[in-house]
Amino acid sequence: MTQLKITEVALRDGSHAMSHQYTVEQVRNITKGLNAARVPYIEVAHGDGLGGSTIQYGLSKTDELKLIEAAVEEADFSKIAVLLLPGIGTIQDLKEAHRIGAKMVRVATHVTEADVAKQHLETAKNLGMETVGFLMMSHMAPVDKLVEQAKLMESYGADTVYAVDSAGAMLPYEVSEKIKALRDALTVNIGYHAHNNLGLAIGNTLAAIEHGATRIDGSVRALGAGAGNAQTEVLVAVLEKMEVETGIDLYKMMDLAEEVVAPIMQTTQEITKDSLTLGYAGVYSSFRLHAERAAKKFNIDSRDILIELGKREIVGGQEDMIVDVAAELAQKNQVTV
């Protein structure tokens, strides 16, 4: 079996849970610990990728390029990765991230829109970066559609293609089916990114590995959007019990989680009623805090907002719809009363 390679996402996906308030010092400290534990890849960016610091997605406390640069300076083993969503991040953002030391880019699109990644993947390839196609909200596409879109990513030069469970909505049998289909259809590496909204992040990741995924994501202390991601230190421990080699130092990951990451977290990562609703309704995990704020503003139940967003199949990039839906639900409640 090809050695598994884990990408640590707390400094990107965890940006959502931190309200995009990471400081340079925090990024340095976490990167230093991950590097010492010999984590192969560390993703650093705004939660919505390069260029994501906006009013719509959430303003960053610190310029993301400064965070990326700080991570690069602290990492002599780990490679620094960035996320880019076409339409949010630009080719120029990508080139700048590469200039300051990013070695890998994960170009993320909705699961049915891989074609918008072409120029970004090709540019990254020309820059000499490692390239990843990141198919978000993969639970929303049937297997044949997922394979079709993954083949496009492969044709554009992706070294790896990920099935991304952005909502934490997939069940183990669905992960198994989709990862197996990707493994059978593609020649490049297959990856899987989990969220824990239904409590299945570790189980789903193991199902992905069993069926051919060799690139997987984890987040130290489960620091990520919604209920978080597959918890890296837990994942490493489970894989060691299974005698699957990761190359990551388990004790150092435990210490990092306990001593460095836990003290800076705004709240503990747990499956709350809202994060559970994300998985149940199949809604983008980063919508949780946006929905909670809208619920307070309009004095309605945040779960009702998330369920309605799921019915309308609202996806990442449509955060403005959260307030619109909340306003509509509040109006309906007034009429009913």
Which residues are marked as active site?
A: 16
Number of other CB atoms surrounding residue 252 within 10 Å:
18
- C-alpha distance from residue 36 to each of 29, 41, 237 (Å): 11, 12, 17
Feature table: binding site: 12-13, 166, 193, 195, 284
Tokens 């997605």 locate to 57
**Tokens describing residue 167:** 């909502």
| Residues paired with 133 in a beta bridge | 107, 161
Of residues 233, 158, 237, 242, the one with CA closest to residue 207? 242
Helix (H, G, I), strand (E, B) or coil at 193: strand
Number of other CB atoms surrounding residue 204 within 10 Å:
27
Contact 266, 17 (CB under 8 A): yes
The helix or strand, by DSSP H or E, that contains position 134, with its residue range, turns out to be strand 130-136
Feature table: binding site for substrate: 12-13, 166, 193, 284
Of residues 147, 148, 145, 119, the one with CA closest to residue 131? 119
Contact 191, 219 (CB under 8 A): no
The helix or strand, by DSSP H or E, that contains position 24, with its residue range, turns out to be helix 24-36
Q: What is d(CA 138, CA 203) in angstroms, rounded to the nearest whole number?
A: 17
Number of other CB atoms surrounding residue 35 within 10 Å:
18
